């Protein structure tokens, strides 16, 4: 996969594989950061922020 613009990057996350990877990444980060209900997380400088 080559360079992507923002629209292509977001579109990839709308695919079944993209959704699976996005949720796996989210669960991993949530566990590593030990988030609690009601916590918020700001994504800065990571693509479109999906």
- pLDDT at residue 45 greater than cutoff 80: no
Residue, of 1 and 22, whose pLDDT is higher = 22
Query: Do residues 48 and 10 touch, judged by C-beta distance below 8 A?
Result: yes
- pLDDT at residue 1 greater than cutoff 60: no
Cβ within 8 Å of residue 36, ≥6 positions away = none
pLDDT of res. 6: 82
Residue, of 40 and 24, whose pLDDT is higher = 24
């Amino acid at each position: 996969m080559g360079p992507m613009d923002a629209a292509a990057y977001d579109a990839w996350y709308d695919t079944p594989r993209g959704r699976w990877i996005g949720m796996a990444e989210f669960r991993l980060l949530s566990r590593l950061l030990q988030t609690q209900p009601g916590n918020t997380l700001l994504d800065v400088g990571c693509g479109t922020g999906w």
